[in-house]
């Protein structure tokens, strides 16, 4: 096996799971998430020589993945299916009883606006530092820290409200 191949495979082993999770929460669709991750690694393979320092690999892969995701919206879609009514995957139709805490948390995270959600995902799912997030999102670090603060603040408030409503309803 070539050195390049070995290097590539170890990148795949280390980052595939985290990247998939990040991609999933970014687009909220398992099939698209899988495509995004595969495409990201394929592009990474093609330009692996450009990655000089492996400690920058995570940011590099995330940058590729975000670009791929943005490309998805640029591609012209053939307008056959009516998107608003598409109910192929119906994951959220569970009864209120089975709405566990986790689902409530997931729901609230999805309700965050993208500018708050994305830095939070990078921090919690990808374990990125403030500096790394700033670099990936091309923002300054103070902006990133403010958004992270607001993201947690909003989540906490929303979840407190939801829990209290649930308690009220069960009384």
Partner 1 sequence: MDELEFRRRLFADPNDKDVIAQADTDSAKQRLVKEMQDFDATLHSALDISVPDDLVQKILAKQQADTDTSSKQSAEVKQLAWYRRFKAPLATAASALLAVSLYFATSVHAPLKASEHALQHVYYEAEALALTNEVQLQVVNEKLAMFGGKLESMPGKVTYATFCNFKGQRSLHLIFQSEHGPVTVFIVPTDSNDAAGANERFADERFGGSIKPGERADTILVANLDTPLEQYQTAVNDSLRWL
Binding residues vs partner 1 (CB under 8 A): 8-9, 12-13, 16-17, 20-21, 24-25, 30, 34, 37-38, 41-42, 45-46, 78-82, 85-88, 90, 101-102, 105-106, 109, 120-121, 123-125, 130, 145-146, 148-149, 152-153, 155-156
- Look at the chain and count its residues: 171
Q: By the 8 A CB rule, do 57 and 51 touch?
A: yes
Provide the minimum distance between the beta carbon of 58 and partner 1 in the complex, in angstroms, as a whole number.
Answer: 16
Return d(Cα 169, Cα 130) in angstroms, integer: 40
Sign of CA dihedral 35, 38, 40, 43: negative
Provide the minimum distance between the beta carbon of 102 and partner 1 in the complex, in angstroms, as a whole number.
Answer: 5
Name which of 37 and 137 has its Cβ closer to partner 1.
Answer: 37
Return d(Cα 94, Cα 76) in angstroms, integer: 33
Buried residues in 71-91 as b, exposed as e (16+ CB within 10 A): eeeeeeeeeeeeeeeeeeeee
Name which of 84 and 171 has its Cβ closer to partner 1.
Answer: 84
Name which of 122 and 171 has its Cβ closer to partner 1.
Answer: 122
Residue for token pair 């909220």: 28
Name which of 72 and 156 has its Cβ closer to partner 1.
Answer: 156
Residue for token pair 């050195």: 3
Provide the minimum distance between the beta carbon of 85 and partner 1 in the complex, in angstroms, as a whole number.
Answer: 4
Name which of 13 and 171 has its Cβ closer to partner 1.
Answer: 13
């Amino acid at each position: 096996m070539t050195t390049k191949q070995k290097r590539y495979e170890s990148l795949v082993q280390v980052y595939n799971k985290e990247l998939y999770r990040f991609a999933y929460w970014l687009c909220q669709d398992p099939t698209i998430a899988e495509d995004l991750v595969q495409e990201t690694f394929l592009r990474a393979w093609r330009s692996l020589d450009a990655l000089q320092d492996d400690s920058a690999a995570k940011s590099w892969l995330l940058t590729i993945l975000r670009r791929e995701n943005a490309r998805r919206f640029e591609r012209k879609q053939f307008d056959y299916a009516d998107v608003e009514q598409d109910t192929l995957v119906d994951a959220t139709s569970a009864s209120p009883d089975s709405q566990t805490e986790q689902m409530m948390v997931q729901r609230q995270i999805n309700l965050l606006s993208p500018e708050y959600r994305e830095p939070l995902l990078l921090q919690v799912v990808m374990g990125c530092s403030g500096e790394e997030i700033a670099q990936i999102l091309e923002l300054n670090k103070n902006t990133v820290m403010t958004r992270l603060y607001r993201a947690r603040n909003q989540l906490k408030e929303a979840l407190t409200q939801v829990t209290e409503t649930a308690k009220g309803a069960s009384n």
